[in-house]
Chains A and B, each alone.
Chain A
Amino acid sequence: MDEDVGVNIIIAQVCQRLKGSHLHSHLEKQAKECLHRPEIKLECIKDDVRSFLKETGWERKLQNAVYRELHTLPPPSHTVAPPEHTKEPLSYMRKAQACWEKRILKSLNSMCTELGVPLARKRPVREQKDLVHKWTEMGTNEPDLSNFRPVYAPKDFLEMLISLRNANHDSSDEASCKSHWGLIQVPLNVKNIPEMRKVFVELGLGTSQLGIDDNIHITPDLFENEHVRLGKRVVSEQDSAAAQQYSRQGCPTGLRATLWALILNCGNDLEDVMRYEQLKSGVIHHDLLVDSLIYKDVKLTASNDDYYFVFEDYLYQILLCFSRDTTVLEHFIYNSATPPKSSVQGKQGTEEYALVYPPNGVIPFHGFSMYVAPLCFLYNEPSQLYRIFREMYVRYFFRLHSISSSPSGIVSLCLQFEKLLQIHLPQLFYHLREMGAQPLRIAFKWMVRAFSGYLATDQLLLLWDRILGYDSLEIVAVLAAAVFAFRAENLMEVTSLAAAEAVLADLSTLKVMPLLQIFLFATVI
């Protein structure tokens, strides 16, 4: 009985989300138009229309849209639970997140006052014309950004996470072998290896996959050719769910762009293009303070990367539009974070004049542009690239910089990483700890960026295939632990944090899938 009620609620929620969407109006239009067709009979009009929609692929599109909504639907909650519980059920996490947000907003405001730059201003006409002209070459601008600094870096966020404590948890016992050696001291439930073996079945030793079985020394007939054929089938069926399942074994390079678009249910329709153009005109008309932060970030990170420097211009085109996209605010329903508000000059304190700033509610931090950079490898049509990035952000990336108890949230990932290390590499963990080189201090920056900029591009894309395939970021924590396991011999000889950082400085030669496979399936339990 309860289950039925639960399902009904979900159905109602999804219907509400899809009502009034573009897909809805398209379906209505199609249904109306098909009435003219001779095969539609009045007696069984419902069934005929349904079968028509099925044959023309519209049912599949609807299926994909529902599937997408199910991904981002918040977990079912009690009827009298306040909305903040949907964002984050644990109160101490909510408090910590609110405290963190206050800090960064304060930092942003103080930078604003120091530099005397307004949070937002309207551009003069000449400047607008200039920008339109240079829209595809914004990388050639050389604004003076020396006074700007990123609002925060992953390091600062880590300090915040380290200080998290659950007031209800009694940690007064003496430190023992059962206690947690790492930096994260909150009692969250994270999966251990036996549980993960059940979840990540397709990564097992007996299953073929890309990243391992497409090695040069293995004939493609054994796996690769068949996998590509299957991929083409999936693409022609246009089935989101099938694409997601397929992606667990990796996406072939030539099909990856289409498959990811399918999994994320992002087309490149006229509506998407128009939406992007709208955002672009928003950028042209107004200049935001965060724009300078974005510029600074791109110049510091992506422009200096050996591979991503080529895409500098795309990054501006995407990120500047992203900060003005108010539809991103929808994801705050299930994000523990709350969009920062600021007020119009002269009207502080009045609630009605408080605006969300930046318009999308996301304040970029140092390294934010690296979420977009690998995607430039797959998509070069700005409107499609934008759609894909936006979708990836509201599904996955937001969890990497907000404090929550979600299993894909950064807190859980850190805890999972430390637990895996403590259980399976206790000697290494103990040694590093003694040397003052807590492993999380090194691995944190990898996980916050989902390894973007640290791995070689093709390896990174194989990792992100699995993030999409399993709809979870846990694989990132497993990879971090696997990297430590791989370099354990060298790490056992370090005597300081700096030396440990040096051992783990260059990950560009690592092959991701063998590491994951060995760690998950070849570890002695």
Chain B
Amino acid sequence: MSKNKTAGYRGHHSYQKRKEAEARSFIRYRCGFTNTIQDVLRQRPGWVEVKEDEEWDFNWCDVGWLRENFDHSYMEEHVRICHFRNYYELTRKNLMVKNLKRYRKTLEREVGHVEAAKCDFFPCTFELPSEYHLFVEEFKRNPKSTWIMKPVARSQGKGIFLFRKLKDIMDWKKDGSRLEEQRDEAQVESYVAQRYIENPYLIGGRKFDLRVYVLVSSYLPLKAWLYRDGFARFSNTRFSLSSIEDQYIHLTNVAVQKTAPDYDPERGCKWPMQQLRRYLTAKHGAHAVETLFRDIDNVFVHSLQSVQKVIINDKHCFELYGYDILLDQDLKPWLIEVNASPSLTPSSQQDYEMKCHLLEDTLHVVDMEGRLTGREKQVGGFDLMWNDGPVSRENSGLETLGSSCFSPNTNLGKHWLTDIQWRRRFTVASFWLTCLFPGFQVVSMTEKTSYDTSKSCLARRAHDRLLLNVLN
């Protein structure tokens, strides 16, 4: 298969990229981290690390670097960087809430109440101190409810606490320890007060939240990919509303859980998404779980749409977000927060492998090597969730007869990583074959056995299935 032949199937854009990459014959990268991402970049064939002051084609930077250097750097067309300039419109809690509220109002005005109601996935939130009076009004309307106070810009569960009485905030304002924190920060820190979800879904008496990965390759038009893997993070202690002070019960971040007295690092308190999905299916049936996961897709899409016009779109930028979702007992998903720099530090061997695959697939989607056509609906573990419009699972060309036939192109938690890993073993072949024959699907074969008869038998069955797939 000569290069020229395949280049002919490419869009102009990736053809350009390929030409430039060929001219250079390797891709220069910078990486601001020393964990999993560093391993992934190092192992990628044809990628070399460059030093501080050298030119780079790809930069996996931290947000500090972005803040200081983005505005001063000139980037050629092919260069890629892993953040959008004003990512914080989505990830800082007060800005996200503001954008979501505004988007909801727009929807209500332009489309209608039903569509706007789809944005009701974030709990009632107020920014403090600016919306203090609005907050007090809402608080007094429901005096029995619990609220959670979160600092706007911090992560890993730091500075968060729960309260039920206004008196608690007064005390907190006057609290000496907070003043000390303020001395470290240059400015007054903003907080958000959010209604606490008092009926979270519990498994084994424990509260958990979901970490899901969404990759945005562009905002205008909005192109977002959903990763099939993710995990549920469990709190080590049993949930009860009676002990608000016990931070360990209510916060499920691994960072917080690690400091809890009965944390066992060997055990880890995570379930892979597939395990959770199967558990929920066994409890509630396939239909309820399908609905739940569609609602979760809805959370991603609407949250991204709400900042679509605010984020400065830049073709050099892409971003991998870590979404934190909480489920309540009615199987309704709530958006807790979005992270622009989701933790890449692994908590176990399994976790490390998952994150490696996540990052590898992210780099596949970013496609510095110019191998993709641009028409893919699935790359590695990423499914194209939104491409300036909903993406359906069916092959393009079929008319969808109304929304009842529409099945979204997402597979969160449906299939095991090992099934996906089989795609990797055929990656080289399948990459080329997928490019040549759109719609070609690699059939998963069970692992090699030492029986000759069973091998040929397997091969025969695989052949039949392959035919069926291609014909369908």
Contacts and interface: CB of A to CB of B under 8 A. Distances in A.
Interface in B398-436: 414-416, 418-419
A140 B237 contact: yes
A307 B348 CA distance: 14
Contacts of A457: 275, 278
B206 interface: yes
Nearest to A313: B205
A310 interface: yes
Nearest to A215: B444
Contacts of A458: 278
A136 B275 contact: no
Interface string B436-472: 0000011110110111011001100100010011001
Kindly state the interface size class of chain B when it binds its partner: 35 or more
A312 interface: yes
Nearest to A376: B204
A518 B444 contact: no
B472 A518 contact: no
Nearest to A492: B450
B102 to A, nearest CB: 39
Contacts of A91: none
Contact of B451 (A378, A509, A523): A523
A509 B446 CA distance: 11
A217 B281 contact: no
Contacts of B204: 310-314, 376
B267 A307 contact: no
Given A252-B286, A254-B282, A514 B451 contact: no
B268 interface: yes
Interface stretch (A8-16, A189-197, A431-439, A481-489): A481-489
A43 interface: no
Given A313-B204, A486-B447, A486-B449, A518 B282 contact: no
B44 interface: no
Given A216-B419, A309-B269, A518 B279 contact: no
B283 interface: yes
B112 interface: no
Contact of B267 (A303, A313, A314, A511): A303
Contacts of A312: 204
Contacts of A253: 278, 281-282, 286
Interface residue SS majority, chain B: mixed
Contacts of A228: 286
Contacts of A488: 450
A441 interface: no
Nearest to A253: B281
A396 interface: no
Given A219-B472, A306-B268, A522 B457 contact: yes
Interface string A390-418: 00000000000000000000000000000
A139 B267 CA distance: 15
A148 interface: no
Given A304-B266, A306-B267, A522 B415 contact: no
Contact of A254 (B286, B443, B447): B286
A311 B202 CA distance: 11
Contacts of A511: 446
A326 interface: no
Contacts of A277: none
A518 B278 contact: no
A377 interface: yes
Contacts of B262: 140
23 contacts: A136-B238, A217-B443, A254-B281, A257-B283, A310-B203, A310-B204, A310-B206, A310-B234, A312-B204, A313-B238, A377-B278, A377-B279, A378-B283, A457-B278, A458-B278, A485-B451, A486-B449, A486-B450, A489-B450, A514-B446, A522-B451, A523-B453, A524-B451
Interface of A: 136-137, 139-140, 205, 215-219, 222, 228, 252-257, 303-304, 306-307, 309-314, 376-378, 380, 456-458, 485-486, 488-489, 509, 511, 514, 518, 522-524
